Amino acid sequence: MPAADEQQDNYKKMVQEVDRFVDFIEKAAKSKLKDISGFNRMCICGMGGSALSGDIIVDATLTSWEVPVQVIRATNIPNWFDKDTLVVASSYSGNTKETLMMYDQAQAKGCQVVVITSGGELKEKCLRDGNKIMEVPTNMQPRSTAGHMIGYLANIVESSGGPRLKKEIMKLMPALRKFRGSIWMRNKGSLAKQIAGNIHGTVPAIYSTGLLSAAAVRWKNQINENSKMIAFNGVIPEMNHNEIVGWSECVQRSKVKPVFLCEHETTDTERSMLDESIDIMTSAGLDPEIVTIWGSTVLERSLKAVMLGDYVSLFLAEMNNVDPMSVAPIVKFKQRLAALLSRKKADKPKADKPKADKHKADRPKADKPKKKKKKKG
């Protein structure tokens, strides 16, 4: 197949996967899962899109659940992991090195472990160890499985006695499908296409208030991978303590496009911080892109923001004439990492067995204590 035809074919496939994001969430949330209990904190261990799904759940439960939920992106788990920690090891391929390492460590510490994967070594380990597994379909781009993973995580939270995220997702389906129709690729008046046109040719910097921080990360990631563009993200109020200086005084700032994801429903304090940040950038001669996200709950606003960002990234891919499915640098990095770890494992010196002591026989024997003779009385 000619390169141009393959690129067009891949573009259509990616559009189909993005179109089905809502359907994937619904299917995963509907799946049956036995109640999970016996933990006082929940940690999602993963990388990339697998971890991003955890970020969505962190935002959705931050103000509604007394159980702390955290995402770990690392090769080592924190020392405080123990038998009271629920660990969700999430890797689409099942072969993500970092996730496999965290899985082994969590298993060794006696944590309660649940796995989300499509197969690979992670599935093998999970079946061997008798842990719960939630399977994701194969033959998809890893970042396109976010819907499945969000649905499964919502399922886990509700099955654990937490906020009823599964029920909320079912209730949100009509609104999410209606929103999808308004930003759809074939919709000529698509908001996503308008935003893409405004940020095309720039370096987008995506900012949000705290409870949309996961969505801002998703925008950045999708623009990186689908659109083949450099993009960054930040969060308010943190950016007001450092980045605002660069935006105000850096001579290269005109090359970067600030994009603000604004919740239509937020606290007065956060709204004031957001407004002031935008005013400072406008005063510095910048033209921020303001995107208002509507919804009655944190989860609804997060999911709508994710959906909008996904379509923006596809319109940008079309404008840049690039293949949204190709992620050659990521594949190359994983191959090099696997080869490096294999070499290190092969080169690891084996512990020498203690050699027999040749001079053992020459050592003087310790004198045994002499027995005292009993006197005849």
- Pick the closest to residue 49 from 113, 104, 116 (CA basis): 116
**Residue 2: predicted pLDDT:** 56
CB 304 within 8 A of CB 179: yes
Encode the chain (377 residues) as per-residue pLDDT tens digits.
Answer: 557 888 889 999 999 999 999 999 999 999 988 889 999 999 999 999 899 999 999 999 999 999 999 999 999 999 999 999 999 999 999 999 999 999 999 999 999 999 999 999 999 999 999 999 999 999 999 999 999 999 999 999 999 999 999 999 999 999 999 999 988 877 778 899 999 999 999 999 999 988 999 999 999 999 999 999 999 999 999 999 999 999 999 888 889 999 999 998 888 999 999 999 999 999 999 999 999 999 999 999 999 999 999 999 999 999 999 999 888 888 888 888 888 888 877 776 655 555 555 444 445 554 555 555 555 54
CATH of 185-347, one of 3.20.20.70, 3.40.50.10490, 3.30.450.20, 3.40.50.720: 3.40.50.10490
What is the DSSP code string of 34-47?
Answer: ----S-SEEEEE--
Fold of 15-183: Rossmann fold (3.40.50)
Q: Phi/psi zone of residue 231: left (φ > 0), alpha (ψ -120 to 50 degrees), beta?
A: beta
**Residue 349: predicted pLDDT:** 62
**Residue 34: predicted pLDDT:** 83
**Residue 354: predicted pLDDT:** 52
**Residue 372: predicted pLDDT:** 52
**Residue 254: predicted pLDDT:** 86
Q: 132 vs 39, 55, 150, CA distance in Å?
A: 15, 21, 17
Q: How many CB atoms lie within 10 A of CB 132?
A: 15
- Pick the closest to residue 55 from 219, 214, 261 (CA basis): 214
**Residue 353: predicted pLDDT:** 53
State the Cα–Cα distance between residues 218 and 197, nearest whole angstrom.
19
Which is it for the CA torsion 98, 103, 109, 114, positive or negative? Answer: positive
**Residue 117: predicted pLDDT:** 97
CATH 3.40.50.10490 in the chain is located at 15-183, 185-347
Our CA angle for 13, 337, 81, nearest 5°, is 95
Q: Which residues are catalytic?
A: 225, 241, 334
Which is it for the CA torsion 207, 147, 303, 54, positive or negative? Answer: negative
**Residue 361: predicted pLDDT:** 45
Strands (E) across 56-101 are located at 69-72, 85-91
